[in-house]
Amino acid sequence: MRADQILHPTEAGLYCPPGDFHIDPVRPVPRALITHGHGDHARAGHGAVLATAQTLDIMAIRYGADFTGSRQVAQGVIRIDGVSVSFHPAGHILGSAQIAVMPDRGPKIVVSGDYCRAPNPICAPYEPVPCDIFVTEATFGLPVFRHPDPLSEMARLRASMAEFPERPHLIGAYALGKAQRVIALARQAGIDGPIAIHGALERLCRFHVEQGIDLGPLVPATADRVDAQLVIAPPSAFASAWVQRFRDPVIGFASGWMAVRARARQRGVELPLVISDHVDWPQVTQTIRELNPAEVWITHGTEDGLLRWCEIEGRTARPLRLVGYEDEPE
Amino acid sequence: MRAFARLLERLAFTAARNAKLRLLRHYLEQTPDPDRGYALAALTGDLKLRAVTPGLLRGLMADRIDAQLFALSYDFVGDLAETIALLWQGDGDEDVPLHQAVAVLRDTGRAALPGAIAAMLDRLGPSQRLAFLKLATGNMRVGLSARMARMALAEMGAPEVRDIEEIWHGLTPPYQPLFDWIAGGERPEQAARAPFRPVMLSTPVDLDQLRALDPADHVAEWKWDGIRVQAINDGGTRRLYSRTGEDLGQAFPDLLEALNFDGALDGELLVRRVGALGSFGDLQQRLNRKTVTRALLDSHPAALRVYDAMIWQGADLRDRPLQDRRALLEDADFGSDRIDLSPLLPFSTWDDLAALRANPPDPVIEGVMIKRRDSTYVGGRPRGPWFKWKRDPMVVDAVMLYAQRGHGKRSGFYSDFTFGLWDGPDLVPVGKAYFGFTDEELRQLDRFVRQNTVDRFGPVRAVAPRLVLEIAFEGLNASARHKSGLAMRFPRINRIRWDKPAAEADRLDSLRALIP
């Protein structure tokens, strides 16, 4: 079977004809395989969902228990009609997985979803899966992106908290994954006191704790008086009246985009923290070299840079130009 | 260099003045000499290094990265120095002392410069690379004025800002004697000729307060609407300083050339054409220019209107009473027709003066100055001897069109408002105001914005045009940069007209008619 008979882009997302399923479909489909729980990859309303146990739990938290007709936990090699699939850790967020699609005859395709190779205290590390075709994101697909050690970013946060002890530090972080990682990193960096969290993070933080991840003492950032110098909130909260309860706050934002000043300025932040859950340029190029697949398919992001690199390296690559995936979802 | 890079990064993203001051003060307190001095000079624009061109930087990258990847990266990042800092291959993370980096950029010959810059970049981590390249291109862009730098210095020790301003122009990087003085050592000798001297400032006054004073003890003169300056010729060394000690000479070579006297005069910098003064807008055309064209010198000639004398013909007059200094000036020859004396106003009662103030003979007047006849010239803003009685502001009723969220203490509040006036059936934006209201009013305005939002652009919201704001401002200039064709000076919200329908706000025509 040819590669594009096994997997090809459609308006709903990547579709696998022999298994009659979509991967991370952006609209409701009868059968969906989901790499991870971010809203642009995991949507409600499918007939059946196959995903890791944690991703299924996250979807139930976000969309309610009836987010899908039926659900199946991904474990081991699973046969779906004419193909076999298996799930492997992607190192992006809790429960995130790459999906290997293995036809009986034809190339093995690994859809990596969003993935990251930097150590992350809140999820299992990325696992290289040998394949013939590697489907990769290119969120940070330019050589300017070399994410620093996240602990050095935490040192900058601590320095700012010491320099401005009277000012609350409000750090914007996406509710699923980034927020918990920032909290866990803050703990690693020696911030032991209570950390306040915005109400929109409460349920997902609790889920991480239930999964055995130590986030230390958390207090709600909803009271009129918040007794914590460090406050984590989803970026959307900064446009709301919620932020008015803080006196002269230092507004920060934790994202890979903060590596570029113009992006940080657009956000209007005072303390940009370069913390990313995506592969940066050295990681994505190293991963492609390591796996050495016959072909690289690029799903979304700044794919022009990665395509040019593949060309220079003499690698076969094509953009899938999938629509509907955000750089970094809210 | 690591601390310097951190400082630049924090300053670049910090809007609040006090936070900037604290960042700089901490840096200066924690950094050894001579590095802190070089950092200070870099921030105040006093560091003279070899000019590193964009062409040189591009050349560095040419054989280091694929041209297409470079172009894609530059396009995404938007800043050449930043693109190179991010792209540079290397795991260097050395904390190179700033003075070493400065030495490379100051002492390396033209031919060896690209290699020397590359070698330095190899030693540095990413954020230091950016700091080094910003140093090299001389473009710090961190929004810190020399005045603020001196305020940070003043916070570090006993000397006051005006003491530091007074000796600033005699100092050269890395300012070792200055830091020694701040740490409690000897005050540096004033080495420079034509030094800046602290300017005497006035306090605001109104008619009620004036009634408690005897008019006979005071003189009055017009408050001209230009820029307060100190003009000096000290044995042939000519200087033109702003009232905070910035050297303005480069932008006003025509006036410098006209300082054919021996002394230090206090006056107003104006644009003066034959028979008429230029507006403040005309003067702005001349400000902040590194070079001035012949055409601009001809169309916008600079002039000085003298208020006072600090030094005259070798004598320091500052301890003498104003009337004596004035008498000297009345008889003085300033050596150029670009310089004249600001006339005194005839009055015997405060009501006489009020009448004069209400009908100034020239549009380039922003009020009257009232000074005690016996006042000595004291730097700073002493309360009592000198008063300013400004003309009442102009007001206009405008409609709020856009609102932007504030920073720092106003985080989360919509506190910066763009307002407009009617032009036919449309509202045309005419200005922006972000103060003039109380904390309670800010909460009310914020609530109005949230409830009347019709569109969003990042941190900016467009609001339904239904709230009238009474805007007070100090003057108007014609401006090609604004859609409305005019620019307000010092606009602020005087009153919120919750009661007034938007349709009754003022028209653009009526504002245009006020342009002098």
H helix count then E strand count, chain A: 8, 19
Higher pLDDT, A204 or B192: A204
Work out the average pLDDT over B428-457: 92
Residues A150 and A189: their CA atoms lie apart, in Å, by 10
Residues A55 and B65: their CA atoms lie apart, in Å, by 40
Work out the average pLDDT over B39-53: 89
Work out the average pLDDT over B421-436: 93
Q: What is the pLDDT of residue B274?
A: 84
Q: Name the token pair of B77.
A: 């990042």
Is A259 in Cβ contact with B412 (below 8 Å)?
no
Q: Indicate the average pLDDT of chain B.
A: 92
Instruction: Name the 3-class secondary structure at B494.
Output: strand
Is B412 in Cβ contact with A146 (below 8 Å)?
no
> Residue B15, Cα to own-chain centre: how many angstroms?
15
B487 bridge partner residues: B477
Work out the average pLDDT over B230-255: 93
pTM of the predicted model as reported, rounded to 2 decimal places: 0.84
B191 band by pLDDT with thresholds 50, 70 and 90 = low
The beta-carbon neighbor of B72 closest among A142, A242, A268 is A142
Q: What is the pLDDT of residue A326?
A: 63
Domain locations along chain B: 2-137, 203-390, 394-512
Residues B161 and A330: their CA atoms lie apart, in Å, by 47
Is A259 in Cβ contact with B86 (below 8 Å)?
yes
Residues A229 and A157: their CA atoms lie apart, in Å, by 11
Q: Name the token pair of B261.
A: 């006297």
Partner A contacted by B82 (CB < 8 A): yes
Is B13 in Cβ contact with A243 (below 8 Å)?
no
Q: Name the token pair of B233.
A: 């010729």
> Residue B431, Cα to own-chain centre: how many angstroms?
19
Q: Which residue of B has its CA nearest to A237?
A: B412
Q: What is the pLDDT of residue B331?
A: 94
Q: Which CATH architecture has domain B203-390?
A: 2-Layer Sandwich (3.30)
**Which 17-46 residues of chain A touch chain B by CB within 8 A?**
none
* Cα distances (Å, whole numbers) of residue B403 to A252, B432, B446, B452, B482: 22, 9, 9, 11, 18
Q: What is the pLDDT of residue B312?
A: 96
Cβ neighbours around A153 below 10 Å, total? 23
| pLDDT per residue as tens digits for the range B453-496 | 999 887 789 999 999 999 999 888 888 877 888 889 889 999 99
Partner A contacted by B64 (CB < 8 A): no
Work out the average pLDDT over B351-365: 93
Work out the average pLDDT over B208-229: 95
Work out the average pLDDT over B280-309: 91
Partner A contacted by B497 (CB < 8 A): no
* pLDDT at residue A329 greater than cutoff 50: no
* pLDDT at residue B249 greater than cutoff 60: yes
Which residues of chain A lie closer than 8 angstroms to B411, CB-CB? 170, 238, 243-244, 246, 248-249, 251
| pLDDT per residue as tens digits for the range B372-421 | 999 999 988 888 899 999 988 889 999 999 999 887 778 788 999 999 99
Q: What percent of chain B clears pLDDT 90, i.e. is strictly above it?
A: 75
Work out the average pLDDT over A141-159: 96
* Ordered domains of chain A (ranges, CATH): 3-144+278-319 (3.60.15.10), 150-273 (3.40.50)
Q: Which residues contact B170 (CB under 8 A, 6 or more apart)?
A: B188, B189, B190, B191, B192, B195
| pLDDT per residue as tens digits for the range A185-222 | 999 999 999 999 999 999 999 999 999 999 999 999 98
Would you say domain B394-512 falls under CATH 2.70.70.10?
no
Q: Indicate the average pLDDT of chain A.
A: 94
Higher pLDDT, A327 or B70: B70
The conformational region for residue B46 under phi > 0 = left, psi -120 to 50 = alpha, else beta, is alpha
Q: What is the pLDDT of residue A327?
A: 54
* pLDDT at residue B516 greater than cutoff 80: no
Residues B78 and B83: their CA atoms lie apart, in Å, by 7
* pLDDT at residue A30 greater than cutoff 80: yes
| pLDDT per residue as tens digits for the range B133-176 | 999 998 787 888 888 999 999 999 889 888 888 888 888 999 99
Q: Name the token pair of A277.
A: 């859950």
* pLDDT at residue A56 greater than cutoff 50: yes
Would you say domain B2-137 falls under CATH 1.10.3260.10?
yes
Q: Name the token pair of B159.
A: 């000397």
Q: What percent of chain A clears pLDDT 70, i.e. is strictly above it?
A: 98
**Which 149-188 residues of chain A touch chain B by CB within 8 A?**
156, 159-160, 163-164, 170
* pLDDT at residue B290 greater than cutoff 80: no
Which residues of chain A lie closer than 8 angstroms to B12, CB-CB? 261
* pLDDT at residue A287 greater than cutoff 90: yes
Q: What is the pLDDT of residue A314?
A: 96
Which residues of chain B lie closer than 8 angstroms to A146, CB-CB? 86, 126
Q: What is the pLDDT of residue B281?
A: 82
Q: How many residues does chain A have?
A: 330
